[in-house]
Structure 1
């Protein structure tokens, strides 16, 4: 028994596929996907031509493989369960990356607030010590926290942009499967 073709589909849209032998599996796979969606059963076995198509349907995602032997159902079943198990692992990876990005963002926002508070305290204490401060000096000191805040905001935006770019690149190169 050989698994000659496998794919993962969301509805009728094939997300990923691999054919180990020559031949056109797409037409037969499309028929099988239609039948799986109509039946909505978790496990389906369908014979088309000389191939037997085994499917596992979970949460709208169909895991499909084609074999050249209809007598063996254990190996295709184990193969499909392993494919589904790998999907759950990648979801955890993406979730952990999203969580890390959120944590970094929250830490940076707290740091910005701390810096702004320190700048405000410094400005207030300097003004209290020197009652002769002019309106110009006060205006300059008032603009300093805004500049600092904008610098921090730019750093946060740059960091988030870089992190999101890395995630997009990893997703597009299939390092993190979707």
Structure 2
């Protein structure tokens, strides 16, 4: 369940964005940006099996798209840290930059998206309750913000996600194979040891005890 897309905009002016796969979600995200009030706020919009999360801070919009099952608290933690890094790097220049004027930040977007996708929610220490308080954040259907003419089919290239899933499956399969191999080795060792012990006692009994008196050459 990854962070698929992230965008930073000043109103309708997109300063930078990054996607892990292809699709028409950048177009939908820009349409959402046109509808977002420029007052400080947080909101999530459900669009089919995906969710668009956004946060407005000082008239700058930070938006990401995730799978519907992605943890909301983690999504807003991602947006919060993105906001902190972006403002620390660009400060007031964000209010005069042109469209795509901060593409250099895409590398940090990619790093954060990968970090928040791979790490479990309880391991992301920067997601603090005081920072990502969601009492004012409500999930709504995308119909609440888009009119009928604007609502279009959301297309997401599944190949990248499928490739990631396939890699994880192969990795787990290799690990399982190694685990089963070691278990089999241990089992065979135990069986061989038991057989050797049984054979030893049979020989002992056949030879008249531990002195092997019946088996010694006269």
Q: TM-score, normalised by structure 2?
A: 0.40
Q: TM-score, normalised by structure 1?
A: 0.48
